[in-house]
Amino acid sequence: MINAHEKHEEWLVSSKVTSSDKNLLAKMTKQEIEDAFFTDIAFATAGMRGILGPGTNRINYFTIQRATVGFALYLLEKFPDAKKRGVAISHDNRHYSREFTLLAAKVLNHFGIKAYIFDSLRPTPELSYAVRYSHCVGGIMITASHNPKQYNGFKVYDEDGAQLVPDKIARLVEIIEDLPDYLQIELPEPYVENTVIYDKAIDEAYLQDVKKIQINPALSKDQLQIVFSPEHGTGAYLGQRLLNELGYRFSVVEEQMTPDPNFSNTKTPNPEEDGAYEKAIELAKRKNAQLILVTDPDADRVGVAFRGRDEQYHRLTGNQSGAMLIYYILSERNKNGSLSPNSRLYTTIVTSPLGSKIAAKFGVKSELFLTGFKFIGHAISEAERNGGPSFAFGYEESYGCLISPIVRDKDALQALVMYAEMANFYLQKGLLLDEVYRQIQEEFGYHDDTIDSVTFPGLEGLKAMNAMLARLREKPLTNIDGIKIIKTTDYLTGIEKSAAEEKLVSLPQSDVISYLLETGDRVIIRPSGTEPKCKFYYSICRKSLLEATTAKEQIKRAFEKLTK
């Protein structure tokens, strides 16, 4: 097996590598060579995502081509009518996204598979919608979601419009791993172009279906003023149009409305970070707006900020905004009789338990999955095929949610509609969002759910992160700051241990460790599937916010010492 430096040399002398990439390769330091070639870029929780540039551990022409060849072979193996039904492809605003889209379409055509593409960038949820709209056998989304500007990625979708779950993607990975080296792949001939560009009819159909999720569409919209930003991404056109057609009074952050792969006018395109809201808050202050809605670059997630009773603007976490939306939707559906008696809330093991507590109040059971909305999308499809249960709501702590299963992925356009309606509904009652959330906390307990991320860049970082996880498995923790751990669940081994029993978990294998404390609090460690970092999730509930925050800080400090 050749090492990173030998791979680097192969790329440096290959006639298939462009001169511009060869210049980049020639300038690489020893460490940069290791990072770019020490492994092949892999599929993880959200497909294949990485830094742009030459190398086997990078996103480039060769890695995209190889992934698409593998996907083509996978589809041809699985579907006898794959060539006719075809694959839908969309992309975001990132560097080379359009070029990678055209490349993927061309590769599929080489295998005789029809490709559907859009005339320009479109949101991830519309790609999921397109798979279903055109009865395709799969889909491809070229995106790196909220990652920094140097990233891009490749997500694959099944025939239901959901991202591939592990038992599906395992076969795809096998096929890709059996392919020739990146530089040796040859496409089958003859090449016959068979790529269809969608007309505006699909946009119209998608928007009309999104509008149908409204619960109280007749509410007056005179009081609510909204500020909206797509963070230079795919939500610009459809998001603005949707809010306008629904009659909301809103202003857009003009500097962030144009597609820009460099994200020039935002500190970060990630709605999980404060920098994504700076310009929106500045505009909200000028416009006296009560609500700020920010979509991430591929428009599958929405960040929410609001003006509170203290006249200051506050950002909601994904756990908070999701819980509020669950309360609004379920309570209003319960009121108007549209809440199914056999419905489900789908969420993840790292998302706050608050949403499930709210759902239980309305007789809605919750099902928990591993991180990755593909599991939720797959569960919706399986429930439909098996005659139930019905879908009530799906969400993750990272700002992604789904209200209607017209798509099988997170949908920022649906979220825009429902967050605006929710804020407007409560405003009509004289309530601001901080007051609404306080009422929810008073009823269900004060929750402090915090996520810390520690970056582990490059090969050395990966080794350090793996070593930390190995230590925790070799010497299991028994307590955190004197608080007894009553249950440890290792999703990699699939074993859940407590004093009373040891049993297997029903979820797929994943590199995640969860600790349940005797206080009911929870700490979870999960290496990111898309970035070189490890995430630490702290979920604390107490009778007051001060108690919850104080307990969280104590547990967090103690746990940080245990994991160093």
User: Is residue 145 annotated as a catalytic residue, yes or no?
Assistant: yes
Residue bearing tokens 């707006």? 289
Question: DSSP letters of 449-486?
Answer: EEEEEEE--HHHHHHHHHHHHHHHHHS---EETTEEEE
Per the CB < 8 A criterion, the answer to whether 121 and 299 are in contact is: no
Q: Is the dihedral of CA 7, 182, 98, 251 positive or negative?
A: negative
Q: Is the dihedral of CA 270, 250, 420, 240 positive or negative?
A: negative
Taking the C-alpha atoms of residue 362 and residue 343, their distance in angstroms, rounded to an integer, is: 10
Catalytic residue among 134, 145, 398, 514: 145
Per the CB < 8 A criterion, the answer to whether 300 and 411 are in contact is: yes
At a CB cut-off of 8 Å and minimum separation 6, what does 553 contact?
Answer: none
Residue type, 419: Y
Per the CB < 8 A criterion, the answer to whether 431 and 423 are in contact is: no
Q: Is residue 494 exposed (0-12), middle (13-18) or buried (19+ Cβ within 10 Å)?
A: middle
Phi/psi at 151 (5° precision): -100, 155
Report the SS3 class of residue 149: coil
CB atoms within 10 A of CB 438: 16
Q: Is the dihedral of CA 203, 204, 207, 208 positive or negative?
A: negative
Identify which of 96, 95, 91 has the alpha carbon closest to the alpha carbon of residue 116: 91
Task: List, by residue number, the catalytic residues.
Answer: 145
